[in-house]
Amino acid sequence: MGKERGREEQVATVRAVLGEGTPEMDIIRALHLAGDDPTRAINILLDFHHGPPPQRSPSPSPRPPAGKPTKTHTESTLPTKTPAQSKPVAENPRPSLAPTPMLKPTNGSGGEHWWLIGSVEMAGLSTCKGRRLASGDVVTFSFPNSAIVATAGKSRPGRPGLASCSSEIMRFSTPHHGEVGRIPNEWARCLLPLLKEGKVKAEGLCKSAPEVLSIMDTVLLSVSVYINSSMCRGQKQSAPKATRAATEDSTFHPLPALFKLTGLAPFKKATFTPEDLYSRKRPLETMQSSAPAIKLTTEKLRLSSGGNEDDQGEGTVSDSDLDDIIGISDSSALEERDPPDALQCDLRPYQKQALYWMMQLEKGSSCQDAATTLHPCWEAYKLEDKRELVLYLNVFSGDATTEFPSTLQLARGGILADAMGLGKTIMTIALLLADSSKGCITTQHSTQICEEASGLGELPVQPHDAVKKLAIPFSFSKFRKPKAPLIAGGNLIVCPMTLLGQWKAEIEAHTTSGAVSIYVHYGQNRPKEASLISQSDIVLTTYGVVASEFSNESSIENGGLYSIHWFRVVLDEAHTIKSSKSLISLAAVALTADRRWCLTGTPIQNNLEDIYSLFRFLRVEPWRNWALWHKLVQKPYEEGDERGLKLVQSILKPIMLRRNKNSTDKEGRPILILPPANIEVKYCDLSEAEKDFYDALFRRSKVKFDQFVEQGRVLHNYASILELLLRLRQCCDHPFLVLSRGDTQEFADLNKLAKRFLHGGNGAVNGDSSVPSRAYIEEVVQELQKGDGECPICLEAFEDAVLTPCAHRLCRECLLSSWRNATAGLCPVCRKSMSKQDLITAPTDNRFQIDVEKNWIESSKICFLLRELEVLRNSGAKSIIFSQWTAFLDLLQIPLSRQNFSFARLDGTLNLQQREKVIKEFSEDKSILVLLMSLKAGGVGINLTAASNAFVMDPWWNPAVEEQAIMRIHRIGQTKSVSIKRFIVKGTVEERMEAVQARKQRMISGALTDQEVRSARIEELKMLFS
């Protein structure tokens, strides 16, 4: 009982010191550890205590406010030292305390490499009893080994981060007395990490203390903090990064915190600070609102266009939306700059303006504004040091430097976002020629080079852990291996594979011969020697190559693009890197370059996030910081807070140039006069036979759909419904596309109609066509008739299934895209080789295995098309025929051949050389009047201005994609007026697709997410089946 009471008293004693809030269990545990000595128990608890105990504790000596000299205790302190009282104590009374070697006092003088940040008073807390400390005594600082404390930290569960807190204890001791006390937590927190790394040192003197110390007495210290000059000079090298990675996600950086505590105020404040990040109260009145968005001519195109499915299942931002979001630059006031002599063509005034603008942005340091503008996330401090040093501190990363961090130090370059067709390529070529001082890397930037070179894995802002995970396994060696010095290189242009040839051709065509050397870095056998690659003035490569060299483990030894320090890197179609976590995005960021450019007509394709990747590539600060970007821009934007958008616009304003076809020059004239584009919708009617067929198919599909609706399983059968729609849409192109599908058995009552349709052609269905391995196929057919099975490549229900000679079933598109070659390849299932002719359109019933050649008949749409082509034939005008189904392109080849139209074909199965060849042939061969083209092949960048007519055979779900394909024709270089005809079959799903599209653009996208989207989709699907 007596012991029990004793324990209660002890607990009460401890409580009295530490405050009522201290949990009893903790106190008892501490007492136990301390052998029932309350004093030691208090010490133990204090060591593990996170919160600042002074506030809570009824301390006999309230802490004086920092910076105010307090005399209260000095009076009672006798200057006489009484060593009698002190037992001989070892310098480091606790084994866990490690002395810091660099902390030996040096009489206040900072020394050459130590710069005085400032001297402050701080109130230390005594942790000992009975020792004496005199004013003027030198104190040294020490801190425990975190490992030991971390284990001890377990004694207080339920305190997250305790281990790390407890390692933030910093003690002070004197040579005579050993440990005397500890310094306040907030000081320890920022001093410790810096002390441990030797970045700062602290020298302390006792200013005043009670005559005889007892626990929790205040000991007033005068502390001078010095920063090591190497931290400022060498900060760009990778040494401090390792530690930074650990605190990556936290926004606590010791150095800024230390500055704050020291009372050092910046004489120049950072424009953006972490506080903004959390309060989001950044005033925005300085932000300029964007220029009013100007509607594109293509606007009317969209109004009349139908369909809105994006094959990727994502909404795409259309041009005019884009203009609303990011604004159009008013560049009319820009100066013009004449292109260098080596450029073999005339630039239009707006192109000269772009050249001037680009060169200004590239000038970087010599560009006055940028040079004298403090980088937005750095602050400038005057140190107390006598040498009158100015130190710049990055408030986000905690980095310090003595070099003036100007705005352009990091971002040299920008985004050339002129609308498609204004000639971004030629403007870029002009820039390459105007300033291509290959290998001349200014010393001013050499520090940055180091950073970039060493910073591969350290992508300064790692938005998510995923980035690390993604990057590490496959570029592991890059992080560990010592860097070989980078070889200075010239210009690197990264573009999609389809544009490689065009870039080369344009550079060759527009430069005086011999002015620049070009090298195309592409293909399996591309050389890896950096010295070889770096020799050329201009190196062309693809995103694929960049990504593969980035992920290739041995790329450092092998050289390649990553062992070169590029003078300039240009990303063409830069939206390719839009998803910030993708390998290609990471790969692009990791390229080492002095100047960086993004060329894109669509800086935002789907999401505002797209532009983050561009900023990250361009080194636009502070927006490389994902957390900052997300908090200040992305989230407000998504929540409808317009400040997010305005902020983006203000960031973009200085670094982006975006004109469109409606931009005007100084005199208000349009900068570019393109021949007019006439877009019209051609409504066609189905023939009677076709109509019967379509109606039967429609009824059939509707019954199925209605069943799904009744069962409430629309979304569970989404794929089936899309397939029903697909069939209806294909039927509008040509019934053969439906007949050739595998599951005609399901539509058995269509047999008669189908026959009738075929009879309209040349006679009976030919059922006896020689089908290889018939018996074998029958088995597959059985399965097919049951309606199950899935394509082994896309794992979906078959779409336009074909049978290989080895009787494996795959979607036609899946199979063809798995082939390297357009006409032949291996069976993906059994690796048997075959050619395209060997493929059998999956049959269910022999009667419907149509030999399309023998049974050929034109559909009404094809009739329409042929009529149009016939009109154009004599004029020699070239046409492009777009369809989204290569099977339809196959069909179209039949009538074109029969009508003696010579044609070329461009689809996804062609490789780079083949594409180039096709485009060249079509552009140059006068006899080729028609180009058959699939949407996917025609998406990006290709210049087809040789054609002045486009026929869009079937509506796409996504008008932006359609628009982009058409813009291949209606762009700079087009001399004739352009005619675009879109075919829509009246009274069919095609017509209703347009209505749905008007209602909602994002209809029928791939993955299903939230309930609202679902119900909206069901409504839209119902419209299609109405």
Partner 1 sequence: MANSNLPRRIIKETQRLLSEPAPGISASPSEENMRYFNVMILGPAQSPYEGGVFKLELFLPEEYPMAAPKVRFLTKIYHPNIDKLGRICLDILKDKWSPALQIRTVLLSIQALLSAPNPDDPLSDNIAKHWKANEVEAVETAKEWTRLYASGA
What residues line the site for partner 1 (CB under 8 A)? 312, 314, 464-466, 469-470, 473-474, 476, 547, 551, 553, 579-584, 607, 609, 792-796, 810, 814, 817-818, 826, 828-829, 831, 1006-1007
Tell me if residue 302 falls in helix, strand or coil: helix
Q: How many CB atoms lie within 10 A of CB 796?
A: 13
Half-sphere exposure of 369 (CA within 13 A, CB side): 4
Minimum CB separation of residue 719 from partner 1 in Å reads: 9
Minimum CB separation of residue 630 from partner 1 in Å reads: 10
Q: Which is nearer to partner 1, 52 or 473 (CB)?
A: 473
Give residue 204's Cα distance to chain centre: 48
Minimum CB separation of residue 453 from partner 1 in Å reads: 24
Q: Which is nearer to partner 1, 347 or 495 (CB)?
A: 495
Residues 6+ apart with CB under 8 A from 865: 881, 892, 951, 953, 983
Strand partners, 519: 539
Judged on CB neighbours under 10 Å (0-12, 13-18, 19+), 762 is exposed
Of 127, 135, 140, 137, the C-alpha closest to 210 is: 135
Minimum CB separation of residue 312 from partner 1 in Å reads: 7
User: Which sign does the torsion angle of CA 680, 985, 851, 775 carry?
Assistant: positive
Minimum CB separation of residue 839 from partner 1 in Å reads: 15
Minimum CB separation of residue 51 from partner 1 in Å reads: 33
Q: Which is nearer to partner 1, 536 or 934 (CB)?
A: 934
Residues 6+ apart with CB under 8 A from 968: 880, 938, 942, 943, 944, 945
Separation in Å, CA 159 to CA 16, 96, 485, 748, 791: 22, 22, 47, 71, 53
Q: Which is nearer to partner 1, 102 or 826 (CB)?
A: 826
Judged on CB neighbours under 10 Å (0-12, 13-18, 19+), 391 is buried
Q: Which is nearer to partner 1, 252 or 476 (CB)?
A: 476
Q: Which is nearer to partner 1, 499 or 758 (CB)?
A: 499
Distance CA 162, CA 158 (A): 9
Half-sphere exposure of 688 (CA within 13 A, CB side): 2
Minimum CB separation of residue 104 from partner 1 in Å reads: 45
Minimum CB separation of residue 467 from partner 1 in Å reads: 8
Minimum CB separation of residue 678 from partner 1 in Å reads: 36
Q: Which is nearer to partner 1, 387 or 480 (CB)?
A: 480
Gyration radius from the chain CA atoms = 37
Q: Which is nearer to partner 1, 116 or 583 (CB)?
A: 583
Q: How many CB atoms lie within 10 A of CB 985?
A: 26
Q: Which is nearer to partner 1, 707 or 821 (CB)?
A: 821
Q: Which is nearer to partner 1, 469 or 774 (CB)?
A: 469
Distance CA 301, CA 970 (A): 12
Distance CA 848, CA 754 (A): 8
Q: Which is nearer to partner 1, 217 or 813 (CB)?
A: 813
Separation in Å, CA 275 to CA 279, 281, 348, 628, 632: 6, 9, 46, 10, 11
Tell me if residue 286 falls in helix, strand or coil: coil
Minimum CB separation of residue 530 from partner 1 in Å reads: 23
Q: Which is nearer to partner 1, 75 or 639 (CB)?
A: 639
Phi, psi of 228 (to 5 degrees): -80, 130
Minimum CB separation of residue 1004 from partner 1 in Å reads: 13
Give residue 738's Cα distance to chain centre: 41
Minimum CB separation of residue 687 from partner 1 in Å reads: 37
